Structure 1
């Protein structure tokens, strides 16, 4: 197992990142928390994020430019929190 596969937390907040969320994060088997707050990320949350089976602490993507559908599979991950606030989602 490579060192990167042992990561448990990824926090790329406040880095002026742009483009889409990387789907390759789902290949990190020990990941428990993802944070990409306050960037310029666009597009939608990759469906591959549903396969992060250990992701139980949470996912924080607030203050980006994300849009599209929020994967229903996120609800099946038993997360402590999901923060998608201040994006371009339409809430009903």
Structure 2
């Protein structure tokens, strides 16, 4: 993983971790359900951003390498990995 992306991802995940702890406190304090739901949506959006950046980095580095320097099997394996990830996102 690119070091700049890695640093960004770790920072974003740290913020997400704090958001999740905040949601747990909100539930403990029996806060208004819509407020909790809004925070849950914010966490989901932040996780989606981490996923998108990780996928982009994977495509630019791992997949590109397989297509430029890898074998036919490497290319097929990378395609299958991507298809599995994308298929699991629909469920």
Q: What TM-score do the two structures reach when normalised by structure 2?
A: 0.20
Larger Rg: 2
Structure with greater helix percent = 2
- Larger fraction in strand: 1
Q: How does the TM-score come out when normalised to structure 1?
A: 0.20
